[in-house]
């Protein structure tokens, strides 16, 4: 799909005017001899009539779509910013499952700093609570359904293990290829504490 940019829109505008003026000059050449004032008036009217539809379809409408897309992207970034600053641990990997970004909640519940995990596969968080079949089944579902959710035991940097409720989602690009994976982890201990407070006031 053609990407609309301000530079491309300016080029389209210039092309519309050039083509319109060339067509009008051809029309005027075929008319009987007229004075310069009448010729200028006809030129202005024909240029307006010729260029308005072209400008609408090739300049103004693409510009409107471009502004709309920018606004949508801005809204998505705002939502992503709020989500990324949530209390849930979030990590994002590239298509090869190497970490490219984590939030502060991830650092808090795992004990690893952002610098320590950059470029690593999240498998370093594996505990001995799950066998290889568990992880193979998990990845089979991710690759076939683009998502997976379930409870997992992770290992903290200091060695202790802790339960998390985890959701992994594949992010697709315009070619429907996986470009990133997003993993959201909720520390189950916090959930259990809240449940106890609500059920045993």
**Contact present, 55 and 49 (Cβ < 8 Å):** no
Domain residue ranges in the chain: 6-83, 87-199
Q: What is the pLDDT of residue 164?
A: 92
Q: What is the pLDDT of residue 110?
A: 96
87-199 has CATH 1.20.1630.10 classification: no
Global pTM?
Answer: 0.60
Q: Given CA atoms 18, 24, 26, 28 in this order, what sign does their dihedral have? A: negative
Q: What is the pLDDT of residue 11?
A: 76
Q: Is 53 helix (H, G, I), strand (E, B) or coil?
A: helix
Q: Is 163 helix (H, G, I), strand (E, B) or coil?
A: strand
Continuous segment of H or E residues that includes residue 159: none
Residues 6+ apart with CB under 8 A from 66: 4, 5, 6, 9
Q: What is the pLDDT of residue 183?
A: 94
- The one-digit pLDDT tens for each residue of the chain (201 residues) are 455 566 776 777 777 777 777 777 777 777 777 777 777 777 777 767 766 776 677 667 777 777 777 787 777 666 567 667 778 999 999 999 999 999 999 999 999 999 999 999 999 999 989 999 999 999 999 999 999 999 999 999 999 999 999 999 999 887 899 999 999 998 887 555 555 455 555
Q: What is the pLDDT of residue 9?
A: 67
The token pair at 118 is: 């950059």
Residues paired with 184 in a beta bridge = 90, 167
Rounded Cα distance between 66 and 5, Å, is 7
Rounded Cα distance between 152 and 147, Å, is 15
Q: What is the pLDDT of residue 200?
A: 53
DSSP at 97: S
Q: What is the pLDDT of residue 54?
A: 65
**Contact present, 24 and 49 (Cβ < 8 Å):** no
Give 105: exposed, middle or buried? Use CB within 10 Å, 0-12, 13-18, 19+.
buried
The token pair at 2 is: 């053609």
């Amino acid at each position: 799909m053609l990407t609309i940019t301000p530079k491309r829109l300016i080029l389209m505008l210039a092309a519309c005017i050039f083509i319109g003026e060339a067509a009008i000059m051809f029309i005027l050449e075929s008319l009987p001899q007229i004075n310069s004032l009448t010729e200028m008036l006809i030129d202005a009217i024909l240029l307006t009539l010729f260029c308005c539809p072209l400008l609408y379809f090739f300049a103004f409408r693409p510009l409107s779509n471009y502004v709309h897309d920018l606004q949508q992207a801005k809204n998505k970034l705002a939502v992503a910013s709020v989500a990324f600053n949530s209390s849930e641990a979030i990590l994002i990997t590239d298509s090869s499952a190497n970490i490219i970004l984590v939030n502060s909640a991830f650092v808090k519940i795992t004990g690893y700093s952002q610098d320590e995990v950059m470029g690593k596969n999240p498998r370093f968080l594996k505990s001995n609570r799950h066998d290889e079949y568990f992880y193979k089944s998990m990845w089979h579902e991710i690759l076939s359904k683009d998502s997976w959710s379930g409870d997992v035991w992770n290992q903290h940097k200091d060695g202790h293990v802790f339960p998390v409720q985890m959701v992994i989602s594949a992010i697709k690009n315009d070619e429907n290829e996986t470009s990133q994976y997003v993993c959201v982890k909720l520390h189950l201990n916090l959930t259990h504490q809240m449940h106890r407070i609500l059920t045993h006031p």
